[in-house]
Amino acid sequence: MLTVEIKNVHKQYGNVHALRGISFECRKNEFLAILGPSGAGKTSILKMIAGLESITEGEISVDGQSIRSVPSEARNVAMVFETYALYPHLSVFENLAFPLKSKTSRLSREAIDQRVRETAETLQIGHLLDRKPAELSGGQKQRVSLGRALVRKTGLLLMDEPISHLDAKLRHRMRRELKKHHRTLDATVVYVTHDYLEALALADRIVVLNQGKIHQIGTPREVYHDPADLFVASLLGHPRINLIPAGVKKGSGDGLRIVLEGGSAEWPVPGAHDKWTDWCADITVGIRPQHIRLSRRNAESGITGEVYVVENLGVNHLIEVKVGTVVLNVLSRDSEYTIGQNVSVQFPEDRVMLFDRISGKKLRSA
């Protein structure tokens, strides 16, 4: 189990500045996810840690030692890629044993045999050892690919979108399997994905990356419930968080009020306004679809809207409600709404997030 430290790393591909001074650390035995859309720079980070790409500027250390000083054969790192790259002419057993047969390996045949069988048992592919890759299902191939990285028992495991290409049902199942197996892994894991569900389910901490910059580093709970900015808030959650442009105006007396654009609703600024740091007049109100409350009767402090679309998602329903010029997504178990119906919309105060519309940063009360 190793630690990884990334200090002020830049990466340039020709004129493209792919990573712009990123810093983070991955602790011993931690499962760290790097989450971001395609092109964010996540795979570049992984390849630099593995020594497959050069570092333009900055430092990467594994267990306190700069990787620049470690030759690639001596790196204690294993990588799992999106494409399995299993050897088609070798059996599952031989595929798993392959990494252990290199010149630098000092394992005897018996030791290799045992290691392969142990790893296969952990991944529940022990009964497939004699098969060839062509005879395996997608999920089984994925496990062999994972096994090939695990079998070396390196202290650091780098995973690059290992399940993204699987169909939804299999992907959800493999995600659960990965979470179960993580406990048995004696390794620090750095896991790259664009799928926020994988990050939330698997990671101890998540590094949210976009266009070469880190937006937030935090536990799954932190990045979901207390996103640092609009980008993080929008990235995690499906349907995406509702974002409503709003402004602040002087209310009666000394108070300030938040006014949704179009004047469709207003309510007092939470807390005393002089206690807010970074206050501004152009804000964005954010509220997640599952937190909006709908009712058919007019509540006193409610906003009124019109049902725009109703979609049955199985357990939940997605109800789109038009409020002024904005269409809100609402997730609800209640399905008895029809298009055109008038409804009352409520935003529970503890679920409302406020963001600075220009900088995107979340506004916090002191």
Residues within the interface to other proteins (CB under 8 A)? 168-169, 172, 175-176, 179-180, 183, 196-197, 200-201, 220-221, 224-225, 236-240, 288-290, 308-315, 318, 320, 329, 331, 339
- Reading the block at residue 298, the tokens are 């007019």
**Residue 328 C-beta: closest distance to other proteins, Å:** 12
**Local structure of 334: helix, strand or coil:** coil
Whole-number Cα distances in Å, 260 to 35, 178, 190, 284: 31, 43, 41, 9
Q: Which is nearer to other proteins, 152 or 288 (CB)?
A: 288
| Maximum separation of any 2 CA atoms in the chain, in Å | 83
Q: Which is nearer to other proteins, 218 or 237 (CB)?
A: 237
**Residue 293 C-beta: closest distance to other proteins, Å:** 15
Number of other residues whose CB lies within 10 A of the CB of residue 251: 16
**Residue 189 C-beta: closest distance to other proteins, Å:** 16
Report whether 317 contacts 335 (CB < 8 A): yes
**Residue 272 C-beta: closest distance to other proteins, Å:** 29
**Residue 263 C-beta: closest distance to other proteins, Å:** 24
Q: Which is nearer to other proteins, 97 or 345 (CB)?
A: 345
- Reading the block at residue 347, the tokens are 């935003």
Q: Which is nearer to other proteins, 47 or 225 (CB)?
A: 225
Q: Which is nearer to other proteins, 75 or 291 (CB)?
A: 291
**Residue 126 C-beta: closest distance to other proteins, Å:** 18
Q: Which is nearer to other proteins, 111 or 313 (CB)?
A: 313
Write down how long the chain is. Answer: 366
- Per-residue DSSP letters for 340-360? T-EEEEE--GGG-EEEETTT-
Report whether 357 contacts 281 (CB < 8 A): no
Q: Which is nearer to other proteins, 56 or 219 (CB)?
A: 219
Which stretches within the chain are classed as H helix?
42-50, 92-97, 109-122, 138-150, 168-184, 196-202, 220-225, 230-235
Choose among 236, 227, 346, 365: nearest CA to 291. Answer: 346
- Reading the block at residue 349, the tokens are 């105060």
Cα 72 from Cα 271, distance rounded (Å): 56
Pairing of strands 156-160, 77-80: parallel
**Residue 265 C-beta: closest distance to other proteins, Å:** 22
For 199, phi then psi, to 5°, come to -60, -45
Choose among 128, 13, 137, 154: nearest CA to 73. Answer: 154
Q: Which is nearer to other proteins, 213 or 240 (CB)?
A: 240
**Residue 338 C-beta: closest distance to other proteins, Å:** 9
**Residue 80 C-beta: closest distance to other proteins, Å:** 20
Q: Which is nearer to other proteins, 2 or 321 (CB)?
A: 321
- Reading the block at residue 32, the tokens are 């760290």
